[in-house]
């Protein structure tokens, strides 16, 4: 038998202790700061008491019982199980999740998620709430697979969009994708099981992509906090293919280029300089008129840092510019500036 323990910071009060045999847990006790905690005082309170040969009991910081579960073959078998790390509580029957499931906030005062399990699989309605306890998202499961209607709500708890799933896949409606804190959400619109439009946001502003047969065909990017276009381009299998139009902040066309067979055929396009790993370069201007290709690297102060011009010979392509390690063929949307 091996015992392990750790202590509260700068204290000789035990925070966690466990017994193991041959690497397997036998028993453990976990403590947390009590409600009577003051400066220099820990006032530990028992929050978890586990004995795999018997049972486990879980408590809140006031000493009230949150959940109790019985063990069989050293595994949770019957009762209510509570995971202190994830703050998740669920009902266990015959060793499987069967019944109610809840996830709580840090203080165990607000339910953040709730649903129901049948034989370890999600079944029925699952609800997600914000830190104020207002409903944010509702989804429906059948045998652990999304099936039926899912609904998104705003911060005030009002419905803003919904989508129907079939066999775990979006079928009809608007799907809202999770995003980082303080970021605008991404929306995908589906019809008959295929995505038809995607609305996303980046540092430059809003991007609206149109799809056909599930493949993106065109994207219009807007200036930040504006309804004026910034870029408009066509795609084929996620490569730029067709017209690329660049607009100023007032939505007036500045430049137009035509990409054919994944190469610039005519006109002007602006490219990102990310692949150059050179902070001096802000962007790249690529021009083509008939058989002449011009390449310009532009600095942060709009100064020309480098310029190259090459005549394209039939069957040879750009023999010299290609050696600069600047990717100007088979362009992705991320290649555009």
Give the DSSP letter string of 131-169.
TTS-EEEEEEEETTEE-EEEEEE-TTS-EEEEEEEETTE
**Residue 35: what pLDDT?**
78
DSSP structural state of residue 96: E
**Residue 157: what pLDDT?**
83
Give yes or no for a contact between 57 and 66, defined as CB atoms under 8 angstroms apart: no
SS3 assignment for 198-210: EEEEECCEEEEEE
* Cα separation, 238 vs 193, whole angstroms: 20
Reduce the DSSP state of residue 324 to 3 states and report it.
Answer: helix
* Cα separation, 308 vs 252, whole angstroms: 28
Phi, psi at residue 206, to the nearest 5°?
Answer: -85, 145
pLDDT in tens, 179-191: 766 678 899 999 9
**Residue 313: what pLDDT?**
82
Q: What is the CA radius of gyration of the chain?
A: 30
Q: Give Cβ neighbours of residue 225 (< 8 Å, ≥ 6 apart).
A: 205
**Residue 107: what pLDDT?**
80
Low-confidence ranges of the chain (pLDDT < 50): none
- Other beta carbons less than 10 A from residue 238's beta carbon: 10
Strands (E) across 178-322 are located at 186-191, 194-202, 205-212, 215-222, 229-236, 239-247, 253-260, 263-272, 281-289, 292-299, 304-311
Alpha-carbon separation of residue 158 from 74, 104, 161, 173, 299 (angstroms) = 45, 22, 10, 17, 47
Q: pTM of the prediction?
A: 0.80
Q: Which of 229, 205, 228, 209 is nearest to 218 (CA)?
A: 209
């Amino acid at each position: 038998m091996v015992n392990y323990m750790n202590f509260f910071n700068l204290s000789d009060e035990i925070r966690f202790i466990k017994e193991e045999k041959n690497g397997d847990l036998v028993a453990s006790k976990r403590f947390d700061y009590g409600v009577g905690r003051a400066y220099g005082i820990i006032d530990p309170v028992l929050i978890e008491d586990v004995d795999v040969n018997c049972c486990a009991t879980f408590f809140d910081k006031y000493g009230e019982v949150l959940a109790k579960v019985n063990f069989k073959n050293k595994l949770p078998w019957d009762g209510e199980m509570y995971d202190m790390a994830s703050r998740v509580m669920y009902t266990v029957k015959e060793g499987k999740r069967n019944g109610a499931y809840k996830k709580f906030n840090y203080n165990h005062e607000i339910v953040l998620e709730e649903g129901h399990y049948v034989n370890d699989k999600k079944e029925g309605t699952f609800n997600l709430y914000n830190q104020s306890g207002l409903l944010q998202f509702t989804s429906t499961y059948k045998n652990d697979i999304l099936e039926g209607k899912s609904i998104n709500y705003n911060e005030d708890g009002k419905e803003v969009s919904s989508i129907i799933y079939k066999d775990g896949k979006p079928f009809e409606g608007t799907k809202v994708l999770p995003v980082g804190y303080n970021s605008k959400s991404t929306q995908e619109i589906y019809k008959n099981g295929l995505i038809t439009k995607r609305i996303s946001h980046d540092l430059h502003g809003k991007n609206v992509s149109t799809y056909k047969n599930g493949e993106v065909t065109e994207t219009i990017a807007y200036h930040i906090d504006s309804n004026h276009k910034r870029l408009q381009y066509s795609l084929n299998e996620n490569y730029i293919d067709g017209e690329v139009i660049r607009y100023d902040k007032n939505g007036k066309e500045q430049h137009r280029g035509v990409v054919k067979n994944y190469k610039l055929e005519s006109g002007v396009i602006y490219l990102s300089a990310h692949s150059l790993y050179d902070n001096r370069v802000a962007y790249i201007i690529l021009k083509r008129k008939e058989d002449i290709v011009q390449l310009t690297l532009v600095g942060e102060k709009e100064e020309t840092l480098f310029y190259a011009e090459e005549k394209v010979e039939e069957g040879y392509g750009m023999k010299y510019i290609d050696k600069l390690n600047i990717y100007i063929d088979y362009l992705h949307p991320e290649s555009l500036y």
